[in-house]
Structure 1
Amino acid sequence: MRQLLHSLYALASAERYLFTPEDLRGLLPELSDGAFKTLLSRADRSGLLRRVCRGLYVFEPAAPRDGLLLFHAAARLRANHFNYISLETALSDAGAISQVPISWLTVMSSARSSRIDCGRWGTLEFVHTRQQPADVAEHLQYDARCRLWRATTQLALRDMRATRRSMDLVAPDRMDGSSTDEPV
């Protein structure tokens, strides 16, 4: 445990505070698989390393308290796929829907659709899209704080229609999105 914590204190920062089991395994290659799993469980019980969801841990002493952990977790979990903040999250941030989703993040992703419970941090909802980055690039802006691309209101509305999400919460004056003929 001491070696793991020493390594994490040396490596972790406000930019690098989320770790996969593979990341952590690299710090302790001499441990057997069973001993490694026991160590992760012990580290979680100690409160220094917390399981966010399957396959992702937060090193609490380095974690910033800016409320962005769910965004960073989404970016980390689907790092090898095309992802962008859209649907209710993007519309809420733009003031286009009447309610703000609390502890719920909606992300369009080239990977499969899924909902991931991240415990006290909230829920990640990944919605599959067949759209290619080049097809929507003009409607995306990189959000460095969230470490994800973010859809414009126009693209988020188009995504809402294409995925057949309820439009009931969208403000009537903000319903001017483009056609839904695009593949999702």
Structure 2
Amino acid sequence: MTFDEAITRLERFDKKGFCVFAKRDLRRLFFEDTDTAFKQGVCRLVKRGLLERPCKGVYVYALSKHKGARMIERIAGILRKYDYNYISLESALSIYGAISQIPIDRITVMTTGRKGVFKTPYGVIEFTHTIRSVIDILDNTEKTDTHLRIATPLTAYRDLKRVGRNLNMVDVRVFD
């Protein structure tokens, strides 16, 4: 791939709202390259500043018009792309005003995938595994204008109780 070719393809996807890619997504984007040429090309694009690598296997188009405050949610969605994910725990309760502290550098996400913590330049993503069914997740979360669903206030509180942390921070009067 040439640098100009990469800009053209990434810009086309950016216009459609896609600016965060898993490595396998980039591989599909540059399908005509051999595996060696693809790996070297991605390294060159990162070195030249066209792509950012916030964590292993995830790339952000550096010139994107969609970069902003919600970038951490886009990255979380890519990290657990094939699982059900939703904002919950302290992040959701803070949005609803049930916790006075606002987590600025962190997002807490419930996932049907593996638990884990990822440190990125956009903040820390904390995944907590849930065994809830897909129907239960869809019934107890709301679609937002972001890339992740968000737990209802009672669901976020229920998740926090299940995890068993920071319960003393919650103002339960919000749920009345």
Q: What is the TM-score normalised by the length of structure 2?
A: 0.89
1:36-84 per-position Cα deviation (integer Å, ceiling 9, x unaligned): 2222122112222111211211112224243100111112222211111
Taking a change above 3 Å as real, the CA distance of residues 106 and 169 of structure 1, as seen in their structure-2 partners, is same
Amino acid at match of 2:135: A
> For 1:74 and 1:148, how far apart are their aligned partners in 2?
8
> For 1:24 and 1:138, how far apart are their aligned partners in 2?
33
Amino acid at match of 2:166: S
| Residues 14 and 63, structure 1, Cα contact 8 Å, conserved in 2 | no
1:82-107 per-position Cα deviation (integer Å, ceiling 9, x unaligned): 11110000000001101000121111
Amino acid at match of 1:123: V
Q: Which residue of 2 aligns with 1:121?
A: 122
Q: Which residue of 2 aligns with 1:182?
A: none
Q: What is the TM-score normalised by the length of structure 1?
A: 0.85
Gaps of 5+ in 1: 177-184
Tell me, what secondary structure is at the counterpart of 1:95?
coil
Amino acid at match of 2:112: S
| Residues 14 and 66, structure 2, Cα contact 8 Å, conserved in 1 | no
> For 1:49 and 1:126, how far apart are their aligned partners in 2?
24
Taking a change above 3 Å as real, the CA distance of residues 33 and 166 of structure 1, as seen in their structure-2 partners, is same
Taking a change above 3 Å as real, the CA distance of residues 138 and 25 of structure 1, as seen in their structure-2 partners, is closer
Please state if 1:168 is matched with 2:175. Answer: no
> For 2:30 and 2:174, how far apart are their aligned partners in 1?
53
Q: Which residue of 1 aligns with 2:94?
A: 92
Alignment coverage as a number of residue pairs: 174
| 1:11-26 superposed matches below 5 A | 11-13=13-15, 15-26=17-28
| 1:1-184 superposed matches below 5 A | 1-13=3-15, 15-118=17-120, 120-143=121-144, 145-174=145-174
User: Sequence identity, in percent?
Assistant: 33
Gaps of 5+ in 2: none
1:103-162 per-position Cα deviation (integer Å, ceiling 9, x unaligned): 2111110101111111x201111100000122244321111x212111111111110010
Taking a change above 3 Å as real, the CA distance of residues 94 and 9 of structure 1, as seen in their structure-2 partners, is same
Q: Which residue of 2 aligns with 1:179?
A: none
| Residues 104 and 125, structure 1, Cα contact 8 Å, conserved in 2 | yes
